[in-house]
């Protein structure tokens, strides 16, 4: 608990990566890893008979280091490690991590408020409206974290063997965690305001730099504190998933974990939607201003529409017979805006404008990759509009700048097209998987941001270093550089990852089946 949350989270995820690396190199995924000692490896202990169960005072000890539950002196001296089954010890570790990570998170939130938000020099520099955008409802978030931590601490102190924590997670998620949606939804404005203040107010920039240099911050940036609530609510869902994977099937603890996970998933989705809604609306307004219609105008701005991909491709001119001609003059530049329900095909014109000459609903698009026909036709594919702006079928032969760009366009244009590898939702027994070892921030709408230790199914890959993946814990899909991860080679580990994933989402599956049955009726 001496660690700030940023440090705690980094250590925890790197430990997770190392554990998975070790498992991947072994033939049996059940073999113990350094982070999961078996009772026989623990220090000799005396029997627990006639001994009052000691209380764990870790949460009140600010000098404690990053610890495992089984490393605590109270646990080692109690003799409980010689009684509990290895699976129960793993479950205790998972619950303990949720508690200690919340304590570390609360410590970081307090520093954000006391060191930055309540700094007198900063208060004088910032207008109240600027301070409100920058810090949003962080005081509410901190109050919720404190109340949550107190309940968790009380549970841990009831007995050295933790009975459960997911029931507490469930209650707080349902009753209090809506403050996270408010905070995270403000993220787009928060980031913009911070950049603007750094640019426009030298005094603000100077004070922030000085505050960041304080030893309390341990070299961490102000922005790393601002993003804490979004990181925490996402991580909390993963910690509950970890507990769920280790709980005995059909047990009370499995049920409470499933309930907590379901509620957390609702909050996380609302947070993500809040962020996307803010940025998408502004993006659609910007695109609308740039378009000039040569054909019948199509209204672009809609609450249910967002951009999936945009970019330049080369269109082949002339009839198909001219494909044999080896000249770059065959191609001319066109520009595509692909939305979740609509494709708009344009040509760029002076003044950063785009002239629209064709469009089609996304559901009426089909793509086809050309066989290798030499260098001039490399990375070429056929795009068919089953019904275009003139209510007729149209075909475009398009050339991308690289193999990855071609595949990315093909998958975005026709999302139901079969990928090289089958997705996890098909319940395939085995599928290539990759573990993220470097975080990645998406640069394009069709890319996927990655956190350390994310595990993904590989759905497609290109020769020039890109992977199309589906993250196991939330089924989000997107492209990312292959250099961000390490492939999981052990088929037993891959199977175990899938099994755990199915278990986590089984309540979602049963809900979907009920809905499907209701719809059919």
DSSP state letter for 482? G
Contact call for residues 455 and 499 (beta carbons, < 8 A): no
Q: Which two tokens stand for residue 142?
A: 């901190």
The whole-number pLDDT of residue 404 equals 94
Residue 322 has pLDDT above 70, yes or no: no
Give the model's pLDDT for residue 363. Answer: 93
Model pLDDT, residue 414: 87
Residues of the chain with CATH 2.30.30.40: 424-511
CA distance 504 to 508: 8
- Predicted confidence (pLDDT) at residue 453 exceeds the cutoff of 50: yes
Tally the C-alpha atoms within 13 A of residue 351's C-alpha that lie toward its C-beta.
Answer: 7
Q: How confident is the model at residue 188 (pLDDT cuts 50, 70, 90)?
A: confident
CATH 1.20.1290.10 given to domain 65-286: no
Average pLDDT over residues 359-384: 85
CA distance 407 to 462: 8
Give the whole-angstrom CA distance, residue 47 versus residue 293. Answer: 82
State the sign of the Cα–Cα–Cα–Cα dihedral 379, 402, 433, 5: negative
More confident residue, 137 or 44: 137
Question: For the residues 72-85, what does the mean pLDDT come to?
Answer: 91
The whole-number pLDDT of residue 507 equals: 59
* Alpha helices per DSSP H over 45-186: 73-78, 86-111, 120-125, 128-135, 138-158, 166-175, 178-185
Query: How far is Cα 140 from Cα 180, in angstroms, rounded to an integer?
Result: 9
Q: Are 432 and 421 in contact (CB under 8 A)?
A: yes
- Residue 232 token pair: 């925490």
pLDDT given for residue 429 in this prediction? 56
> Would you identify the CATH topology of the domain 294-319+329-413?
PH-domain like (2.30.29)
Where exactly does CATH 1.20.900.10 map onto the chain?
65-286
3-state secondary structure 412-474: HHCCCCCCCCCCHHHCCCCCCEEEECCCECCCCCCECCECCCCEEEEEEECCCCEEEEEECCC
Residue identified by tokens 């920058």 is: 134
What per-residue confidence (pLDDT) applies to 141?
Answer: 98
Q: What is the pLDDT of residues 245-286, one digit of tens each?
A: 999 999 999 999 999 999 999 999 999 888 888 788 888 999
Count of beta carbons in the 10 Å neighbourhood of residue 28: 8
- Residue span(s) of the chain under CATH 2.30.29.30 come to 294-319+329-413
The pTM (predicted TM-score) of the whole model is: 0.79
- The mean predicted confidence, pLDDT, of the chain is 85
pLDDT given at position 376: 67
| Nearest-angstrom CA–CA distance, 457 and 477 | 9
Confidence class for position 418, pLDDT limits 50, 70, 90: low
- Highest-scoring range by mean pLDDT, 115-124, 294-303, 315-324, 500-509: 115-124
pLDDT at 485 over 70: yes
Q: Return d(Cα 405, Cα 383) in angstroms, integer.
A: 14
pLDDT confidence of residue 49: 37
Q: How many CB atoms lie within 10 A of CB 514?
A: 10
The band of 381, judged by pLDDT with boundaries at 50, 70 and 90, is very high
Residue 323 pLDDT exceeds 80: no
**CATH 3.40.50.150 assigned to 424-511:** no
Q: Are strands 380-385 and 485-488 parallel, antiparallel or unpaired?
A: unpaired
* Sequential DSSP letters for 336-388: EEEESSEEEEEEEETTTEEEEEEEEEGGGEEEEEPPP--GGGTTEEEEEESS-
d(CA 223, CA 220): 8
Q: Annotate 133-144 with DSSP letters as a single string.
A: HHHTTHHHHHHH
- At residue 20, the pLDDT reads 87
Give the pLDDT confidence score for residue 428 in this predicted structure: 52
Instruction: Kindly tell me if the per-residue pLDDT of 489 is higher than 70.
Output: yes
State the Cα–Cα distance between residues 38 and 35, nearest whole angstrom.
10
Which residue, 225, 267, 272, 229, is CA-closest to 143? 229
User: Is the pLDDT at 57 greater than 60, yes or no?
Assistant: no
Distance of alpha carbon 104 from alpha carbon 58, whole angstroms: 12
Nearest CA to 129 among 58, 197, 61?
197
């Amino acid at each position: 608990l001496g660690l700030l949350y940023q440090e705690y989270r980094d250590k925890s995820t790197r430990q997770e990566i190392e554990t998975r690396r070790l498992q991947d190199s072994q033939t049996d995924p059940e073999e113990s890893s350094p982070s999961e000692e078996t009772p026989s490896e623990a220090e000799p202990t005396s029997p627990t008979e006639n001994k009052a169960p000691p209380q764990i005072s870790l949460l009140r000890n600010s000098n404690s280091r990053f610890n495992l539950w089984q490393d605590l002196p109270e646990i080692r001296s109690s003799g409980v490690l010689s009684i509990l089954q290895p699976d129960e010890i793993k479950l205790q570790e998972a619950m303990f991590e949720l508690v200690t990570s919340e304590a570390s998170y609360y410590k970081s939130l307090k520093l954000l408020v006391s060191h930055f938000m309540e700094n007198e020099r900063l208060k004088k520099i910032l207008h109240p409206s600027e301070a409100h955008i920058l810090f949003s409802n962080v005081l509410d978030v901190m109050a919720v974290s404190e109340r949550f931590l107190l309940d968790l601490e009380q549970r841990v102190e009831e007995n050295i063997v933790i009975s459960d924590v997911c029931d507490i997670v469930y209650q707080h998620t349902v009753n209090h965690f809506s403050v996270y949606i408010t905070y995270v939804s403000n993220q787009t404005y928060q980031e913009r305001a911070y950049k603007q203040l750094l640019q426009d107010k030298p005094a603000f920039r100077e004070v922030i730099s000085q505050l960041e240099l304080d030893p309390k911050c341990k070299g961490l940036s102000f922005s790393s504190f601002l993003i804490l609530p979004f990181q925490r609510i996402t991580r909390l869902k993963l910690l509950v998933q970890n507990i769920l994977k280790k709980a005995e099937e059909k047990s009370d603890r499995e049920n409470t974990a499933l309930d907590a996970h379901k509620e957390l998933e609702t909050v996380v989705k609302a947070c993500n939607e809040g962020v996307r809604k803010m940025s998408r609306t502004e993006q659609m307004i910007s695109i609308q201003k740039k378009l000039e219609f040569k054909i019948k105008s199509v209204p672009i701005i809609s609450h249910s529409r967002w951009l999936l991909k945009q970019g330049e491709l080369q269109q082949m001119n002339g009839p198909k017979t001219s494909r044999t001609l080896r000249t770059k003059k065959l191609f001319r530049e066109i520009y595509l805006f692909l939305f979740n329900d609509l494709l708009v095909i344009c040509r760029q014109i002076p003044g950063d404008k785009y002239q629209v000459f064709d469009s089609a609903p996304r559901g009426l698009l089909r793509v086809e990759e050309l066989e290798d026909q030499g260098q001039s036709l490399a990375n070429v594919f056929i795009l068919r509009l089953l019904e275009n702006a003139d209510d007729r079928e149209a075909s475009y032969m398009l050339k991308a700048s690289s193999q990855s760009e071609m595949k990315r366009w093909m998958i975005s244009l026709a999302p139901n097209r079969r990928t090289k590898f089958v997705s996890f939702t098909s319940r395939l027994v085995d599928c290539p998987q990759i573990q993220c070892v470097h975080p990645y921030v998406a640069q394009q709408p069709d890319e996927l941001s990655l956190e350390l230790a994310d595990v993904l199914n590989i759905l497609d890959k290109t020769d020039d270093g890109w992977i199309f993946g589906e993250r196991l814990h939330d089924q989000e899909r997107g492209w990312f550089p292959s250099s961000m991860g390490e492939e999981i080679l052990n088929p037993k580990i891959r199977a175990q990852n899938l099994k755990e994933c199915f278990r986590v989402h089984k309540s979602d599956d049963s809900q979907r089946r009920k809905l499907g049955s209701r719809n059919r009726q």
